[in-house]
Structure 1
Amino acid sequence: MKELLITATDTDAGKTILTIALASYWQTYYKDLRLGLFKPIQTGIGDRELYTKLFCLDQSLDEINPLWYKTPVAPPVASEREGRLVELDRVWSTFTTLRQQKDFVLVEGLGGLGSPVTHELTVADIARDWHLPTVLVVPVKLGAIAQTVANVALARQMKVNLLGIILNCVKPCSEQEIADWTPVELIESLTQVQVCGILPHLADITDLGKLAKAASNLDLEKFLSLPTKV
């Protein structure tokens, strides 16, 4: 496995936090190995700008994010407003080249697993068609159980290779709130998918040390092919 798709139940669930936490961990412990960051499609300002701010990447902006729209809405809507096609073959070509050049590629999806990429395709379709091992980020909040069950059902229906679930504290949470809103045993029982850890609330997403430490507390062996630390 040379790549991992990071998707979520919805927008603002914590995909970016997990992506940069994993990147921080990788660059802390695997400095001799080449890591790529990939945002297939982005609308508005956000992830690609953050990646280039936080990490020294041997990638151009187009190699990080080959398809960008100024309008911060779903890609099919943005493409219509801006009079541009959603060029998935261009995205695929860039991704294919990148994974040939890197030892591992973190792919951050847009929106949630059911978010539209075109008028016909969702993120789940891309995950299946591109054979991307996938991790699902679930925000710790009321209603998270139902969202998780629905997204895992979608992943199963679409034959997505879903490796695990990461819970993310989108705001400061007590242990009791985490247990009440996202009970691990119940989620695993309902979905038959392993919960691979919980990300604490990280107020400063530019603190790479704290991000790497947070990632180290996850069950990384489940979804990263990790060699011996350097």
Structure 2
Amino acid sequence: MSNINALLITGTDTEAGKTVLTTALAAYLQKYFPQRNWGLMKPIQSGEGDREWYQKLFSLKQTAEEITPLYFQAPLAPPIAAAKENRQVDLAVVWQAFSKERSRRDFVLVESLGGLGSPITDELTVADLAGDWHLPTVLVVPVRLGAIAQAVANVALARQAKINLKGIVLNCVQPRSDAEIADLTPPEMIQSLTNIPVLGCLPYLENLTDLDKLAQVASNLNLETLNL
């Protein structure tokens, strides 16, 4: 399982930029490795959002259920959304769908819900799942005040859950100058405090449908450690 052909993209919170990075990596694979048989997954989704976005943007040879095997109507944490529908969060369904996609594809990009501490069930978080399933993981940290503390706390959670954390990607959730990035999320300090490599910084992208731009932005990251 250590050489699993998948990558989990998670973040410090719900608006960190997981979808931005996942979209950029998908655009990168589509442009520079068109021969590769890759897929996308948002294994659990509450409310409309990422699954519909990926279906609109990419010509995926996947059904909605293959992209998102567990879907709930209410845009809430999965155990709460499931309870409103008198359902349970069946992780066996998610595992079976993920295993199937992994077995028939060269690579699978998996976007998590929320952040590492987000609940999946009443007992388990995203961090628990990433650790238990031995998923290579990249952590998205938004460039804003408080990001250093968020990065340190999330890396500590990742270590506690024995997650194979491959790197950190910074993401500008609004336009930022190089000086602001250096002040708010100094890469050297984050690396020193966490002992996790910072793979680069995504600039603020106003148009997330420009796949050429997204592919270019992804290519500027240090992607070697991600095994794409």
Shift of 1:176: 1.0
Moved over 6 A (4+): none
TM-score, normalised on structure 1? 0.97
Q: Which residue of 1 aligns with 2:18?
A: 15
Which residue number corresponds to residue 123 of structure 1? 126
Within 5 Å, which residues of 2 pair with 1:45-194? 45-194=48-197
Q: Which residue of 1 aligns with 2:36?
A: 33
Structure 2 distance, partners of 1:137, 1:27, is 21
Deviation for aligned residue 1:151: 0.2
> What is the match of residue 210 of structure 2?
207
Structure 1 CA distance for aligned equivalents of residues 122 and 96 of structure 2: 21
- 1:211 Cα deviation (Å)? 0.5
**CA deviation after TM superposition for structure 1 residue 129, in Å:** 0.9
Identity of aligned residues (%): 62
For 1:212 and 1:7, how far apart are their aligned partners in 2?
Answer: 19
- Measure, in 1, the Cα distance between the counterparts of 2:27 and 2:227: 14
State the alpha-carbon separation in 1 of the partners of residues 31 and 73 from structure 2. Answer: 33
Listed one character per residue, the Cα deviations across residues 82-138 of structure 1 (whole Å, up to 9, x for unaligned) are: 111101100100000000110000000000001000000000011011110000000
Distance 1:154 1:91 in 2: 23
Q: Which runs of no fewer than 5 residues in structure 2 stay unpaired? A: none
Tell me the equivalent position of 1:228.
Answer: none
Root-mean-square deviation (Å): 0.6
Counterpart of 2:139 in 1: which secondary structure? strand
Aligned with 1:111: secondary structure? strand
State the distance in 1 between where 2:78 and 2:105 align.
27
Residue 114 of structure 2 aligns to a residue whose secondary structure is coil
Following TM superposition, by how much is the alpha carbon of 1:224 offset from its aligned partner in structure 2, in angstroms?
2.3
How far apart, CA to CA, are the structure 1 residues paired with 2:7 and 2:227? 8
The TM-score normalised by the length of structure 2 is: 0.98
In structure 1, how many angstroms separate the alpha carbons of the residues matched to 2:42 and 2:32?
A: 23
Superimposed CA distance per residue, residues 142-185 of structure 1 (whole angstroms, 9 cap, x where no aligned partner): 00000000000000111000000000000000111100100011
Letter in 2 for 1:116: P
